[in-house]
Amino acid sequence: MKNRYVFLLLVSAAATAALLPGRGLGQDQSSGRAASRPEASVGMPAGGMLGILRHGNWECALPGDAGSDAFVPVPAEAFRIGTASSYESAAGGGIYLLRGREVVFTRGPKKDQRFKVLGENTLQKLAPGGGLTKLICTRVSNGN
């Protein structure tokens, strides 16, 4: 007999929560805590699955022209991807975030630089406004 009462109470509570507007929002929304959460900054990717870049050395270059070299290396932009979403560059180390098809360097000397993932070994730098730049970074070794 007790099990029947517990079951009926559980069903009535679930039905009440489902049918009453605003009651099923949970603690964060009903108490106003949602407004106090930090908003995503302009430099953060909007959405997508979290991931990591392939570990190793990444070199960056600008396109050349038909009369000379096919590409012009930019050593100041080179970096090495390590474990735990970390990177090292000539200027120091930091952390990056890969979300969907966009990489954002969140700490360190490359902070706020953004890249679009073109392939598992290729990135293209994004301008501050979100447009593509000509700088391409390619993974050239696994770091060993």
Average pLDDT per consecutive 10 residues, the chain (144 residues; last block may be shorter)? 64 66 49 48 66 96 91 96 96 97 97 96 96 97 78
**Any idea what the Cα angle at residue 43 is, between residues 128 and 124, rounded to 5°?**
55
pLDDT given at position 46:
60
Global pTM? 0.67
Q: Which CATH class is domain 50-141?
A: mainly beta
Encoded tokens for 6: 């517990």
Q: Are 131 and 116 in contact (CB under 8 A)?
A: no
pLDDT given at position 9:
66
pLDDT given at position 31:
47
- CA-atom Rg of the chain in angstroms: 24
